[in-house]
Amino acid sequence: HAGLLSIEELKLALNGGACKIPEISEAFVAGQKLFDQSTPTGAMLDTVFVRAQFKALLRLTKNRALKKVILTEIDLKNISISLRARDEDEYKALKIDGGTLTKAQEEALLSREEARIKSAFKQGVLYDFVLAALSAQDKPLADFERLQESFALARFKAERFSLTKDAPFILYCMYRR
């Protein structure tokens, strides 16, 4: 197998067995609950597993620079979700836990008021992304996802020499992604 878990380990986790990445088992249980309650959408199931992925990454990552990249990716995804959600309930249902967005920033995004959004982000490193995200709202989702990836990479690249000796290797891995 090419991943961290073999097919047999995934099957065991799917059937409620112990898993070396417990977040995977939790995601299978949460996904099953969705099926028990109704017929979940692809977005609902995707959210369960993306949340599990980021929860595991945050737990397992010890490198400060890499953790910063993960937190940035969570923030970018949550910004995207907030700008595309129909309302606060949908945002809460799809939001990924663990990011650094403040309640005020989330409320500003959900207000859809450009001036309020700019004000909420003006002091932070996400300001340029938020401006670009606002202008990309009516464009295809693939364009927005490329914007997310390039922003996370550019942010890490700008800080790579001040973070850790592992930063150049992490940057290489990000380029390869």
Q: Could you read off the pLDDT of 120-149 as tens digits, one per residue? A: 999 778 888 888 888 877 766 666 677 777
Q: Could you read off the pLDDT of 46-98 as tens digits, one per residue? A: 999 999 999 999 998 887 777 888 898 899 999 989 988 889 999 999 999 99
Sorted by sequence, the CB contacts under 8 Å of residue 117 that are 6+ apart come out as 108, 109, 111, 130, 134
Answer for the pair 21, 5: CB distance below 8 angstroms, yes or no.
yes
Which burial class, exposed, middle or buried, applies to 14 when counting CB atoms under 10 A from its CB (0-12, 13-18, 19+)?
A: middle
